[in-house]
Structure 1
């Protein structure tokens, strides 16, 4: 707990404060700073003006509506971080608890002014040589954010400065919306303040006049105002926290183990280049002299407070989500290294916006999300503050995921709304995931492909290991599991897994006798090499659409074999589709809103599953390695597996999914629209398969690898063409969904054969590991043209065999489109 605030109330003048117009000063060196005569300050220091002083890391005085900081000499030049947090907002303009910009500042004295200067830790390391220090100083000049006149002196010449305007709009860096809005000081005020041993909090109400943008739109997470140009009033808490006097010993970051981190640049030139040093982000967790068995009791456990605004029924589940991590910290040697706590009942100054208080917030917002930001010491990576932000409507998102993925396995999910016991468990999962971010962990999308699909279906395996090795993957619920697998319901939901325990062990276990981060490297390397023999200890976070590894995917389960996993997933989607109408008809007299929403989510899940398979084509397996580890980092996916993935898409993604087009459902939702729903999903999948990045990567494989190791681009395009246009071989009618898909295919080919000028990427050499490959189409445009000529020949013969009028018109139009794209004069 923080020490209680020292507060005094008295008539001014404030005891021990000397206005600068006084002849004498409290210490002999006060005359080093010229005095200034401020008659308005003198007026405020009359016995009739009430004043309040609170003492902490430095004193804060409020005289009427004015706020003063008293900065003692010992705090000059020290590093402080200013954390801006949204504390109150009009409905849906912003989200309470969202963190805005953080400023690192120092207080400096220059004559009769106190400067608030950006510390902006420049991430610079230089050796002790004077030349290196001088060179570093050349790029170490920082901005002056505010220049404040010294209005009075306290004991030991402590500068007393009025800071009201810093929080009511006079300093742009301390208005949360910065240049996007102007703060009207006449409609802004300091609401309250508090002082503690390590920090000072100021809560201000700011009224904004927009400048070319929505008031709330400039703040992270803000959905935006209904009237983007209307003035608005919001409340912010500025927590000014001193960085630790005794910096934590940092631990070097390793790309093979997932941690957020801080980066510093080394200009010493020891390796004949500018080097970067990265330290992991982690809480300071140190052993006390007490033990429970073989585990040490931490001097100060990582403590997360529960937001008082949280509904009572859900608090136990949030508490469980926090303390689910205790087992992982036992792997690092700590007994109850992380705990949940209620805010102190008798501390009126306690604030969740405090930069030294970690809190799990419950935010009344329609946003379907939760986030876990944290604040790290730029010198060492020490996590100083964290705020898990759980938006109320994340319950709706998890309801949708759970229903579409595993609802057929859980009777509790087969009638809306879910019971509190199920929804509480889902909130526990969300909380544990976001707390994981605030412990230092990014997403690990490699994890979901580290278990064989058969293991994901094993009741005993998932009981012990989970269906994914980590809670930090987006492997939501076990959609691979089949009814006959009899997996326990609680094991359908992700939990803290083997990778999480490994990562906590790697980052938080004390390493005795290691005095520097470099001294820890041999031990850390030994732990990291465990990944060579234990695959579920591996890490990677690249889930982007351009990622090469089909095992690094978001929203995937069992992507060790995406075709097998998706085959099982589609079987489950069909089961869910069959119960969709009965599950959403939970009360007579209600609308079909639930039916419409969950039907849309189910189509979306189908599209996502198809996307997992598309990533196999042209893919490369990746295991992050450092010098000294055997084997390549990248190796191509087997050609047979790539061909099987394409055939799966032709059979399941590009064939019209009749099971999704239930007329009993569709006619309750809309007069039309299913063509767009399904067509758009198919279009996204097809665009992924023929993306420039994928085709370019496959061409490079052909140039560098043996023939039996690659799936040639020419073969891929021929197989795709034959599968998408299979009706022309038989003369069968082409339904509206297939016609839409075939038009999308032609449009994709046209955009590559004749790309818009602005879309053509410059053809130039890349450089370095991971350098972006060219994404222009010149390298594969010839084979695309050849494919179109072959298709045109097939279409010419098919038209004569086609009796269906719509199909014939479609094929004639397709020939027109091909002629147009091949006509170089167009």
Structure 2
């Protein structure tokens, strides 16, 4: 959820998009009036200290927008009349003055036209309406002076790069005109012609550009106020208490307040706005390579050098530079990446959070840095230190029932330099980690076999969560490919896992080693992911200095050489989940041993059966307690079973992918072996679609519900079946078969559908009774077939081919509809014979109903 009060987010600026400065308006001439003149009487009709004409009520409306009298030029007053002796002043990148309830910025002439980013952070909220520390809009702005007004302008020039040709620059500027977000009357001039402007209403509402977005509410200035402010060398912080009043209409886009978009009740929240100056000297960017996983920023190149508009992408990374000091062969950084701990973090948790941060030190050693990343406590007794500061990286501890943690970061859109990060750890993520560990590895660890977990285990799980989220704030997206490059047998090897982990990267969702068996003897700490070979490789690739390379282009040869290491070290490969509709069975989340998901899931199911055997004893931790823990852990055990079955589904109609660039040998995509696909279908028929009676423990079910297992298990089976017969998968299988030189290269879609039909309806061969779980699954199958044979009119309409690189054209069922009809006719013929030999009444009625459904499919107008 995003939280913002500055409507700068309305302009749609995403800090992942890079901005290139094209031009900056020249400042107006220096005023002739002495900036420090003694106070004089205010103009008639306006009390001393009031805003200039052109201002609205309270000086905010007009002071920020120009008001009804905007045509009349603002008339600055003597400095001492505005910034009176009662002012509380703090000095930083520019001065901030508080005079009573009014807040003023004193912006030096030298800061006009410079790039600033405004980060909005929720600093306080009513329970469960929002989450403290959640970042809202991150917006790039410039302060521009025109005569006696300062314009706050969105610094978004369309991600444009243009060469020095005047025509190209002119074209770039024409499409790069950006929104003026607010106009601030200059109230006075300070030393060196610094402009004093009142900004109160920018933070307390009353100006359209600064009201809350993402919900039907406006900021009520009468019930809002400035709470505190601070000034630092590179940024200014303002914290405001804002009260929101509901209003009608659809919620806006962009940011959002702490309340949900559809909320209608008034509420009051606290926000911190950190206005931070981007580095004066931009860091040299590093070009992004799709073979290595980095979050990036983009620029569009309009120079026309390649006869087209090109997109340049740079990786996101911290500025890490070597000092003259060394420890062994490692350089000591001039300024290590430093994460502070939220003072609200419970004392017993702090050591684990620190360890999660500093676990990354070994990866930075691979890039040549000694202690390139460190953890630190927040300074004590420093009232100006703030986790909301846009230049302070912090791991926050947030009281929330949300089972999650996230790792957002703030980037310089010119270069990709990370300048701020805030890992947000919600208290209830401990419950999520406990659930994962219990269902995946609890059978191997006695500490997990009785709730609640001891602090040593709970802390270790939190360390893992912290390290993963810190990884995101270092510039790394998820990598779901590398783990599929470890053989399943290696994942069970205690020596391999001790050295390399069961996954090569912390940035996978390869949680805990659910493949490991009791006899494998794997150390308990090695059941939990750690910094792996890919993490060290990725940090080396992105953070290692490349001597004598003065431009991003000069680094390309070295970076390409490093990228090609993936050809011989396969677990250095990268891909995130979902590419090309999930075609690659090696790009899966929540998977361990997905090099062979059938083998890994076979072992995983053995472990889940062990988990089921200890469910009651583990959750019955206190006499007189409810069965809530039992109910929750039973549901999560069923969920883990469904997840593992889903890994097998992805094999069918799958294609292996290795990202490559021109000049590398081989293709990017290769078909999954036909036998492996066929084995996957049979595995699902035997394990997912055959009723899992081991999950239906009556002793457990009678303690947690009067009914519901049919829905719970049936829904999991239905999701798996829907995945197997999805339109994307069937269309891909048709295409792969059409392109194959020989049918031996593919698993024909007709063969797959026949194997599936016979397995799902195997009872009709013998006339055996069909249990309620199987009857539901067979109905789901018929409903899926009906939706494809007779799709809704919009879906059945001809679709134009196309789609971007890596995508696919919209899917029509026309290419596989004939074979589905053929399958239904074959099934109907089998049902005729089965009904005659079925004695169970419920089964016979079910089969008769199935025939009716098939008749409606094949002749919907009958």
Q: Give the shorter-chain TM-score range.
A: over 0.9
Alignment pair present for 1:319 and 2:354: yes
CA offset at residue 36 of structure 1? 3.6
What is the alpha-carbon distance in structure 1 between the residues aligned to residue 40 and residue 513 of structure 2?
70
- Structure 2 matches for 1:310-459, cutoff 5 A? 310-459=345-494
In the alignment, which residue of structure 2 is the partner of 1:659? 694
What is aligned with 1:142?
178
Give the deviation of 1:759 after TM superposition. 3.5
1:52 lines up with 2:88 in the alignment: yes
SS in 2 for 1:539: coil
* Gap change, CA 1:123 and 1:354, over 3 Å in 2: same
Cα offsets for 1:237-278 (capped at 9, x unmatched): 000000000000000000000000100000000000000000
Q: Distance in 2 between matches of 1:212 and 1:233?
A: 18
Among 79, 97, 105, the residue aligned to 2:141: 105
**Structure showing greater relative contact order (alpha-carbon pairs closer than 8 Å, 6 or more residues apart):** 2
1:805 aligned to 2:827?
Answer: no
SS state at 1:675 partner: helix
2:189 maps to 1:153:
yes
> Could you tell me how far apart the structure 1 residues matched to 2:38 and 2:372 are?
47
- Describe the shift of the 1:402–1:261 C-alpha distance in structure 2 as closer, same or farther (beyond 3 A): same
User: Residue 318 of structure 1 contacts residue 428 of structure 1 at CA under 8 Å; is this kept in 2?
Assistant: yes
8 Å contact from structure 1 (residues 679, 737) kept in 2: yes
Distance (whole Å) between structure 2 residues aligned to residue 213 and residue 450 of structure 1: 51
Q: Could you give the per-residue CA deviations for residues 134-162 of structure 1, whole angstroms, max 9, x where no partner exists? A: 11001110101110111111012111000
**Could you tell me which residue of structure 2 aligns to residue 75 of structure 1?**
111
Structure 1 counterpart of 2:816, from 758, 780, 788: 780
Quote the residue 1:170 is aligned against.
206
Is 2:236 aligned against 1:200?
yes
Is 1:117–1:143's contact at 8 Å kept on the other side of the alignment? yes
Q: Per the alignment, do residues 45 and 128 of structure 1 end up closer, same or farther by CA in structure 2, a change over 3 Å counting?
A: closer
Cα distance in 2, alignment partners of residues 15 and 55 from structure 1: 18
**Residues 309-366 of structure 1, C-alpha deviations (whole Å, 9 max, x = no match):** 0000000000000000000000000000000001111321000000000000000000
Q: Report SS of the residue matched to 1:312.
A: coil
SS of structure 1 residue aligned to 2:318:
coil
1:6 is aligned to none
Cα deviation for residue 177 of structure 1 reads 3.2
Counterpart of 1:822?
858
Separation in structure 1 between the aligned mates of residue 259 and residue 243 of structure 2, nearest angstrom: 18
Alignment check: 8 A CA contact 1:325 1:338 kept: yes
Q: Deviations over 1:739-789 (max 9, x none)?
A: 000000000000000111234464222255323233110111011011001
The question of whether the paired residues in 2 share the 8 Å contact of 1:550 and 1:559 is answered with yes
**Measured at CA, do residues 51 and 722 of structure 1 come closer, stay the same or move farther in structure 2, by a change above 3 Å?**
same
Aligned length: 801
**Cα distance in 2, alignment partners of residues 629 and 659 from structure 1:** 49
In 2 relative to 1, CA 593–301 (structure 1 residues): closer, same or farther, beyond 3 Å? same
Corresponding residue of 2:31:
none
Q: Report the 3-state secondary structure (helix = DSSP H, G, I; strand = E; otherwise coil) of the residue aligned with 1:808.
A: helix
Match of 1:8 in 2: none
Residues 1:761 and 1:68: Cα distance change in structure 2 (over 3 Å): farther
| Equivalent position SS for 2:515 | coil
Question: Could you tell me which residue of structure 1 aligns to residue 101 of structure 2?
Answer: 65
Following superposition, the deviation at residue 122 of structure 1 comes to 2.3
Q: 1:112 to 1:247 in 2, by over 3 A?
A: same
Q: State the Cα distance separating 1:72 from its structure 2 match.
A: 1.2
Q: 1:392 to 1:40 in 2, by over 3 A?
A: farther
Q: Does 1:257 align with 2:292?
A: yes
Alignment match, 1:765 = 801
Kindly report which structure 2 residues correspond to 1:457-472, keeping only aligned pairs within 5 A, or say none. Answer: 457-472=492-507
Say yes or no: does 1:708 pair with 2:744. Answer: yes
SS of residue matched to 1:165: helix
Give TM-score scaled by structure 1 length.
Answer: 0.94
- CA displacement at 1:790 relative to structure 2: 0.5
Please tell me whether the aligned partners of residues 488 and 595 of structure 2 are also in contact (alpha carbons under 8 angstroms): yes
Question: How many Å separate the matches in 2 of 1:514 and 1:462?
Answer: 38
Aligned with 2:792 (options 753, 756, 770): 756
| Equivalent position SS for 2:311 | strand
Deviations 1:26-69 (A, max 9, x none): xxxxxxx997458999986666xx21111110111110000000
How many angstroms apart in 2 are the aligned matches of 1:677 and 1:220?
35
Computed over aligned residues only, the root mean square deviation of the Cα atoms, in angstroms, reads 2.2
Contact 1:215 1:228 in 2 (8 A): no
In structure 2, relative to structure 1, the CA distance for the partners of 1:121 and 1:434 (3 Å cut) is farther
In structure 2, the residue matched to 1:742 is: 778
1:202-249 Cα distance to aligned partner (Å, 9 max, x none)? 000010012348999986695749x93110000000000000000000
SS of the counterpart of 2:675? helix
Q: Is the 8 A contact 1:85 1:97 kept in 2?
A: yes
Once residues 545 and 218 of structure 1 are traced to their aligned partners in structure 2, the CA distance between those partners, rounded to angstroms, is 28
Contact (CA 8 Å) 2:39, 2:78: kept in 1 or not? no
Q: Is 1:585 paired with 2:615?
A: no
Counterpart mapping for 1:236-635 below 5 A = 236-543=271-578, 546-635=581-670
* Change over 3 Å in CA distance of 1:234–1:435 after alignment to 2: same
Aligned to 1:91: 127
Q: Secondary structure at the match of 2:582?
A: coil
CA drift of 1:551 comes to 0.5
Q: Compute the displacement of 1:181 (Å).
A: 1.8
- Residue 581 of structure 2: SS of its match in structure 1? coil
Please identify, of 586-595 and 166-175, the stretch whose mean Cα deviation from structure 2 is larger: 166-175
What secondary structure sits across from 1:313 in the alignment? coil
How many angstroms does 1:588 deviate by?
0.3
Paired residues of 2:390 and 2:420 also in contact (CA < 8 A): yes
Match of 1:7 in 2: none
